[in-house]
Structure 1
Amino acid sequence: MEQEKISRKGFHAFIVLTAAALLLAADQVTKYFVLQYLKPMGAIPVIPGFLEFSYTENTGAAFGLFKGHIWFVVLVTLVASAVIIVLLFRYRNHSFFSYATSALILAGGFGNLVDRFLYGYVVDFIHVLFFDYIFNFADCCITVSAVLFVIHVLFCTREEKKEMGKTHGDQA
């Protein structure tokens, strides 16, 4: 029974890492096309007055934070990714939300990390016109992962805490 749990957990971790790799590939493909076709043009409207693709080189983290401190951002990304991978295998109470969070944050973190190593900056290009910042697919993955993580903590860990209370209550 315990062996079955371990193999199921390993299978789920494999699925998460595969999903992260596919999302990372999608991010890099979009950036390839941005560099090839959008960079020479600068910007193109997608939905006039609402959305445009606008080429930008971001030397900081999300929203331009830590500009010029690329090695700090790289270190934080690597440490956070290592922790997520360890927890992917060791955390006992995964839900769909925690698995999806893991895949998305790994893909987003590594997507921007690849840019930092290849170019010394992150390729950003999505500009929702009512929002001052320009971002990319990896940033979308990271943002969605944050929302899913909050959902996991608010709704899925509640059951975990109830179960722990029942277990401790039975022993008293």
Structure 2
Amino acid sequence: MITLLTALFVTIFDQLVKWFVVNHMELGETIPIIRNVFHLTYILNPGAAFGILPHQDWFFLAIVVALFIAFFVMRKRIPENPLYFPSAVGMLLGGALGNGLDRARLGAVVDFFDFRIWPIFNIADIFICAGVGLIAFYFWRHSS
């Protein structure tokens, strides 16, 4: 239950922030928050991280579907403790779904966090990375 609630929260939060960006910024517009360090820059990314594999929407949507199938097949094997583990799985699922919804609607992902030394990213990307990191930490801590 924690996993699905987390996924739902992440997806809704991600989509609300993206809706705000799309409806209050022009495509390509950049707003300096800390000049030359951190900007809000609205772009549409047709690829994955760092823009790799552009315009492969069906491939990325298939990954989202595969993640959810794997979750529903394995859900009874997800440990409830420590609490961060089912939350981490939810972060991964919610982030994947958030970006998947963008791909299905727009053919690209809405990105906007721009640290100038790193590719522009979004909330879903943060949750995907945090979820994968926590899952890896869990397996590192619980390996024999």
The gaps in structure 1 that reach 5 residues or longer are 1-13, 162-172
> In 2, Cα distance between the equivalents of 1:92 and 1:70?
32
Amino acid at match of 2:105: L
User: Does the 8 Å contact 1:88/1:102 carry over to 2?
Assistant: no
Q: Deviations over 1:112-163 (max 9, x none)?
A: 01111111111011111221x01100000001112101110111x23xx4xx
The residue aligned with 2:32 is: 45
Query: 1:63 Cα shift?
Result: 1.8
Quick check: 23-32 or 55-64, which moved more?
55-64
User: Does the 8 Å contact 1:55/1:124 carry over to 2?
Assistant: yes
Amino acid at match of 1:76: I
% identical aligned pairs: 28
TM-score, normalised with respect to structure 2: 0.91
The gaps in structure 2 that reach 5 residues or longer are none
User: Does the 8 Å contact 2:18/2:110 carry over to 1?
Assistant: yes
The residue aligned with 1:117 is: 104
RMSD: 1.7
2:49 is aligned, of 46, 59, 62, to 62
1:148 is aligned, of 134, 140, 144, to 134
Q: Deviations over 1:54-109 (max 9, x none)?
A: 01111112221211211111111210222123323234575323212211001100
Q: Which runs of 4+ in 1 moved over 4 A?
A: none
The structure with the largest helix share of the pair is 1
The residue aligned with 2:95 is: 108
Tell me which of the two structures has the higher relative contact order, counting C-alpha pairs closer than 8 angstroms and 6 or more residues apart. 2
Query: Which structure's CA Rg is the greater one?
Result: 1
